[in-house]
Structure 1
Amino acid sequence: MGFGILGAARIAASALIPAIHKSTNARLVAVAARDGDRAAEYASQHGIPKAYGSYEQMLADPEVEAVYNPLPNSLHLPWTLKALEAGKHVLCEKPLALNAAEAEQMDQAAKTADRTLMEAFMYRFHPQIARSLELVRSDALGELRLIRASFSFPLERPADIRWVAALGGGALYDVGCYCVTLSRLFAHREPLAVRGWSDLTPPDHPGGGGVDHSFVGVLDFGDGLRSVFDCSFTQPFRQHVELVGERGSLVIPEPWLPGRRGSGGPTLHGQVAPSLIVNGQTEAQPAADQYQRMVEHFVRAARGQEPLRYPAAEAVRQMRVLDALYASARAGRTVQLG
């Protein structure tokens, strides 16, 4: 399947481009940027045959069958809709949209166009997550009672778009969303209520202020199961998940980026064999390229060769929880979801 990339983004260079190059069923066709020279330079650096000076030109290319959208969060909706209208399948970076209403619009557009749309949560495709789900659902820990999740790193570039509220910046959107989706995945149901607390950048911040640089949340799934998570742009690199049952516990030391133990660690794309800690005992997991596995599954699903594991409707449910967490932080109270 021929892929085109919207924008000359760092995440594409470090993760998706190598994944597509390595995949067995996908190939890179084109990249588009608003600056034609930038697109040409990016294409040359990353072995991409075609470079376009506008997104519209790339979407008109019949050789581009699927589009990867790593644009700023505020541009996920308009350019995903344009790609779907052009008959392209879309793999869109997280969060899929800025709110549930936008996500629903994207989901409906994909159905209308009869195209595949998926949110790019790569961690879900690593074997360690499949093994963790197997352990939890086989009752190896007993009834699940508590989920703890953390994801933080120091965002030290003042001009980074993730500091800009109008572009969909914020720690919850960027890294907290991983904690939320994993909590929902292991709970195997949606939260009934949420409570969120945010720390915002000041008005004199280079990004304009008002962006959550840190966020702490609690998800209440009912029946005695809660998730507590934290995320931040102003703390050291941390990634951690703990699942606590009535009889045992499971720790995923490197849930999101296996092998990356700090800001100076291996690249996002390194294949590393992680370990789980099951009831205090270490259990080695196989090395895998979670990005490559995500791309290959997406292509097979788009080709009709297997069901899409995480359809856009799943991303709509995810956005409803993020909406509620932001609403809770603003209002200073618990928000009910169900």
Structure 2
Amino acid sequence: MSTVRWGVLTTARIAQNRFLPAAGRARGAAVVAISSTSGRAEEVAGRFGIPAAYGSHEELLADPGVEAVYVPFPNSLHAEWALRAVETGKHVLCEKPLVASAGELAHLADAAARRGVKVMEAFMYRFHPQHAKVRELLDSGRIGDVVSIHARFHFAMDRQPGEPRLKPGFDGGALNDIGCYGVDALNHLMDAPPRSVYARGTSHSDPVETSMAAILDYGGVLATLDCGFEGPRTNTLQIIGTLGHITLDKAFDPDPTETANVTVASRSGEAETFAFTGDAFRSEIEQFSEWTRSDGPTMPFQELTQRSLAVRAALHASLASGQPQAVTPADAVVG
């Protein structure tokens, strides 16, 4: 496969700290351009050995040498810039959450199909090898029938001035920023959206929720989700079955240098731990680069993206009303 030439829109922290280092390690991918309206593109380009630096995102999108772009804008700008990139014929890997409404998702999918490009929501955790092991354990019946699932993701936010995840109108808050990982994982494991959800959140003095917890009813399987910007870092997933349980200690954001453990325990207390190391960002970049050269789906994981969008919409509605909320995929509007 020929090397896919990438561009990065903005010099956001996640681009500098996670995407660009991983892209430098990835096979079949090379970052050839970066853009920023803040004047930092040249400095970041020099640091990462990127050949082209642009002072506007439009210039990068007009560069015929760029085949795929990474979009790490604040959440409220994802749909707009993903669509603009698609309309210029670029493949798009866009940070989660991809869009805030079912209408935006449909519009983006139609544009991608028309332009013949790939678009994917960037949930890098999906590409870590521990999750393939979880699927293997479930499919083998190791823990019997699933009874409940519990997802947790917390970290203590560095509250810098102007932090978009804490500002109204930017589709921020704990649910959209980190709770979406749990939503995605739960829907992926269950291969269906829940029937209903019930969520409660706290915001302290912020205009968005900075922590939240929810119950999701999958009809015979109950799931819980909690997330927040207030406490020590934790990102765990536990699946409880009739014969045992599976626990992941670094489910959603394992560092490439860390070991992620998948522990399966039987009802009698016997346990076995499988240790994994993996570079999820690198694997995501490599896999998406391969997909840009294939005839596969225009939007990988589109059904899962649509499903999780509807669940987040219901969770936001429940947070606002304080009442349980049915999940209605056709009416998904988040934020």
Q: Does TM, normalized by the shorter one, top 0.5?
A: yes
State the 4+ residue runs in structure 1 displaced beyond 4 angstroms. Answer: 305-309
**5+ long unaligned stretches in structure 1:** 203-208, 259-267
Of residues 152, 169, 172, the one that matches 2:172 is 169
The SS at the match of 2:258 is coil
- Look up the SS of the partner of 2:33 in the other structure: strand
Inter-partner Cα distance in structure 2 for 1:312 and 1:88: 18
For residues 241 and 201 of structure 2, what CA distance do their matches in structure 1 show?
Answer: 28
Can you list the C-alpha shifts for 1:140-187, whole angstroms capped at 9, x where unaligned? 111111001100111132422111121121000111001111111111
Seen in structure 2, the aligned counterparts of structure 1 residues 308 and 242 have a Cα distance that, compared at 3 Å, is: farther
Amino acid at match of 1:278: V
Cα distance between partner residues in 1 of 2:79 and 2:295: 27
Q: Percent identity?
A: 36
Shift of 1:305: 6.5
Kindly provide the amino acid, as one letter, of the partner of residue 176 in structure 1. Answer: G
Moved more, 26-35 or 272-281: 272-281
1:102 aligned residue: 104
Q: Which residue of 1 aligns with 2:315?
A: 325
Letter in 2 for 1:91: L
* CA distance, structure 1, for counterparts of residue 253 and residue 272 of structure 2: 18
Matched, 1:289 2:279: yes
Q: CA deviation at 1:193?
A: 0.8
SS in 1 for 2:215: strand
Paired residue for 2:305? 315
CA distance in 1, matches of 2:86, 2:111: 7
Residue 156 (1) aligns with residue 146 (2): no
Q: Which range is displaced more, 138-147 or 95-104?
A: 95-104
2:11: which partner in 1? 8
Q: 1:125 to 1:115 in 2, by over 3 A?
A: same
1:272 corresponds to 2:258: yes
Secondary structure at the counterpart of residue 109 of structure 2: helix
Alpha-carbon distance between aligned partners in 2 of 1:245 and 1:107, rounded to the nearest angstrom: 37
Calculate the aligned-residue CA RMSD, in Å: 1.6
Query: What letter is aligned with 2:225?
Result: F
8 Å Cα contact 1:103/1:319 also seen in 2: no
Rate the CA distance shift 1:306–1:287 in 2: closer, same or farther, 3 A: farther
Matched residue of 2:66: which SS?
A: coil
**In structure 1, distance between residues paired with 2:77 and 2:302:** 17
For the residue of structure 1 that corresponds to 2:294, the secondary structure is coil
* Number of residue pairs the alignment of both structures matches: 320
Q: Distance in 2 between matches of 1:331 and 1:109?
A: 35
Conserved 8 A contact 1:301-1:308? no
**1:248 is aligned with what amino acid?**
G
Contact 1:104–1:316, Cα closer than 8 Å, also in 2: no
Post-superposition Cα deviations, 1:264-309, rounded to whole Å, max 9, x if no partner, equal xxxx4x3333221101523223321111111111111111066679
- Note if contact 1:104-1:313 (Cα within 8 Å) is conserved in structure 2: no
User: Matched residues in 1 for 2:298 and 2:252: separation?
Assistant: 21
Mapped pair 1:214 → 2:208: no
Distance across 2 between alignment mates of 1:153 and 1:277 = 23
Q: Which amino acid aligns with 2:92?
A: V
Structure 2 segments unaligned to the other structure (5+ residues): 329-335
Deviation at 1:74, TM superposition (A): 0.8
Cα distance in structure 2, aligned partners of 1:17 and 1:306: 26
- Give 1:120-131 correspondences, 5 Å limit: 120-131=122-133
TM-score, normalised by the number of residues in structure 1: 0.90
Counterpart position of 1:77? 79
Q: Structure 2-normalised TM-score?
A: 0.91
**Paired residues of 1:9 and 1:70 also in contact (CA < 8 A):** yes
Q: Which residue number corresponds to residue 326 of structure 2?
A: 336
Which residue of 291, 294, 300 maps to 2:290?
Answer: 300
Task: Give 1:314 deviation, angstroms.
Answer: 2.5
Q: How does 1:46-85 map to 2 (within 5 A)?
A: 46-85=48-87
Structure 1 residue 217: deviation in Å? 1.2
Post-superposition offset of 1:248: 0.8
Distance 1:309 1:143, change over 3 A: farther
